[in-house]
Structure 1
Amino acid sequence: MIVFLYLIIIIIILIKIQITLKELTAILWSKGYLVYFKK
């Protein structure tokens, strides 16, 4: 049961990290910074 709780916590953290990465890429994209990374 304890292992199951740890798995749930890890999944929630990964989802939050993915959301923050999407927000960061959206902010960078709107400012045009990602154009430099695409080269």
Structure 2
Amino acid sequence: MSALETALHGLRALVADGELRPGDKLPSEGELCEQL
């Protein structure tokens, strides 16, 4: 799986888990790296 696919999968999981909701700002790159 490419890095892009991994990031997209991680973002989808954050949405599915309710950690990101419509209208929320995306985490910073550093925060996103820690979460993924």
TM-score, length-scaled by structure 1: 0.48
State how many pairs are aligned.
Answer: 24
Q: Which has the higher contact order (CA 8 A, sep 6+)?
A: 2
- Distance in 2 (CA, whole Å) between partners of 1:25 and 1:32 is 11
Give the CA RMSD over aligned residues: 2.3
Q: Structure 1 stretches of 5 or more lacking a match?
A: 1-14
TM-score, length-scaled by structure 2: 0.51
> Structure 1 vs Structure 2: percent identity of aligned residues?
21
Over alpha carbons, which structure has the higher Rg?
Answer: 1
